[in-house]
Amino acid sequence: MSSIIQVKGLKKNFGALQVLKGVDAAIEENEVVCIIGPSGSGKSTFLRCLNRLEEITEGEILIDGVHLSKENENEVRTEMGMVFQSFNLFPHMSVLDNVTIGPRKVRGIDRKEAEKKALEGLKAFRPDVVFSKGGYVALPVVFAAKKLKIPCLTHESDLSPGLANRLMAKKCRYLLTSFPETADKFKNGKYCGSPLRKQLFEGRRAEALKKYGLPAGRKTLLVFGGGSGSRAINDALRKNVSRLCKKYNVLHLCGKGNAVESNIPHYVQKEFETDMASAYAAADLVVSRAGSNTIFEILALKKPAILIPLEGQTRGDQAQNAAYFQQKHLCRVLKQSEADFLPEAIEDALTDTELISALAVSDFSSGNANILHEIRRFLV
Tell me: pLDDT of 53 over 90. no
Q: What is the pLDDT of residues 160-176, one digit of tens each?
A: 998 889 999 999 999 99
Q: What is the pLDDT of residues 219-257, one digit of tens each?
A: 999 999 876 778 899 999 999 999 999 999 999 999 888
**pLDDT of amino acid 85:** 63
Closest CA to 295 of 179, 160, 154: 179
Q: Which residues face 191 on adjacent strands?
A: 177
CB 43 within 8 Å of CB 35: yes
**pLDDT of amino acid 308:** 94
Helix (H, G, I), strand (E, B) or coil at 313: coil
Where do the domains of the chain lie? 5-77, 95-196+369-376, 199-361
Confidence band of 156 (pLDDT split at 50, 70, 90): very high
Q: Which residues face 132 on adjacent strands?
A: 154
Tell me: pLDDT of 193 over 60. yes
Which class would CATH give 5-77?
A: alpha beta
Cα–Cα distance for residue pair 372/296, rounded to 1 Å: 18
Helix (H, G, I), strand (E, B) or coil at 332: strand
Q: What is the pLDDT of residues 253-279, one digit of tens each?
A: 998 888 899 999 999 999 888 899 999
In the chain, pLDDT over 90 holds for what percent of residues? 53
Give the burial string for 227-259 (b: 16+ CB within 10 Å, else e).
bebbebbbebbbebbeebbeebbbbbbbbbebb
Closest CA to 255 of 221, 275, 233, 227: 227
Mean pLDDT, all residues of the chain? 88
Degrees, nearest 5: CA angle 36-41-44: 70
Architecture of domain 199-361: 3-Layer(aba) Sandwich (3.40)
Out of 39-48, 340-349, 361-370, least confident range: 39-48
Provide the CATH topology of domain 95-196+369-376: Rossmann fold (3.40.50)
DSSP state of 309: P
Tell me: pLDDT of 214 over 70. yes
Which of 14-28, 65-79, 128-142, 192-206 holds the top average pLDDT? Answer: 192-206
**pLDDT of amino acid 314:** 58
Strand pairing report for 285-288 and 152-156: unpaired
Q: What is the pLDDT of residues 14-41, one digit of tens each?
A: 888 888 999 999 998 888 888 887 767 7
Cα–Cα distance for residue pair 147/139, rounded to 1 Å: 12
**Residue partners of 149: CB distance under 8 A and separation at least 6:** none
Cα torsion 278, 282, 284, 285 to 10°: value is -50
Confidence band of 87 (pLDDT split at 50, 70, 90): low
**Residue partners of 239: CB distance under 8 A and separation at least 6:** 340
Confidence band of 142 (pLDDT split at 50, 70, 90): confident
Tell me: pLDDT of 86 over 70. no
- Give pTM, 2 decimals: 0.72
Domains 5-77 and 199-361 agree in fold: yes
Confidence band of 313 (pLDDT split at 50, 70, 90): low
> Any long-range contacts for 371-374 (C-beta under 8 Å, 24+ apart)?
371/155, 371/176, 371/192, 371/193, 371/195, 374/153, 374/174, 374/176, 374/190, 374/192
CB 210 within 8 Å of CB 202: no
**pLDDT of amino acid 358:** 95
**pLDDT of amino acid 39:** 66
**pLDDT of amino acid 66:** 84
Q: How large is the average pLDDT for residues 337-357?
A: 93
Helix (H, G, I), strand (E, B) or coil at 56: coil
